[in-house]
Amino acid sequence: MGCSRLDETVQHQLLDQARRAREAAYAPYSSFKVGAAVLTAAGEIFSGCNIENASLGATICAERVAIFTAVAAGCPDLTALAVIADTPDPIAPCGLCRQVLAEFSPNCRVLMATTAGRIRLANLKELLPLAFRFPPAESGEAG
């Protein structure tokens, strides 16, 4: 499955996994629970939830938990990411999560959703047009 297409069945599966992951979120400080799920090129889905810490810098977003879980399982070829939260508008991944996703899937499809069912679909390049690359591109362009 390529990144250019994300059919409704797969969207439903990703959002279902993200919703379930959100239920496990550990957010005692903000009460802001987020769930995420990533789809690999092989069709596997890995999920994650946000995990807060009293030392706020140690907090990790749901998207990175899902991405790191997939990579740790030997599946770094990601094609799509879904993220869901109880917000009025579909929630987008933070900048740090966008950069991490760009490391593994610069053309990834990103499905952003609310618990009430509002959905927005974008390509990661729309959300992070000038992703950092190391070493930088020869042409002087980032991304």
Rg value, the chain, Cα: 15
Task: Give which of 18, 2, 8, 16 is closest to 93, Cα–Cα.
Answer: 18
Helix, strand or coil, per DSSP, at residue 24: coil
Q: Give the residue numbers marked as catalytic.
A: 63
pLDDT of residue 113: 98
Per DSSP, what are the bridge partners of residue 39? Answer: 45, 80
* Residue 138 reports pLDDT greater than 70: no
**Domains of the chain, each with CATH number or no CATH:** 8-127 (3.40.140.10)
Percent of the chain that is helix, strand, coil (3-state, to 5):
30, 25, 45
* pLDDT grade for 4, boundaries at 50, 70 and 90: very low
Rounded to whole angstroms, the Cα distance separating 47 from 70 reads 8
Please state the rounded mean pLDDT for residues 15-32.
98
Structure tokens, 96: 């740090």
pLDDT of residue 1: 34
* pLDDT grade for 2, boundaries at 50, 70 and 90: very low
In this predicted model, what pLDDT tens digit does every residue of 49-95 receive, in sequence order?
A: 999 999 999 999 999 999 999 999 999 999 999 999 999 999 999 99
Please state the rounded mean pLDDT for residues 84-110.
97
Which secondary-structure segment (H or E) carries 126?
helix 124-127
Sheet holding 109-114, edge to edge: 45-49, 34-40, 78-85, 109-114, 119-123
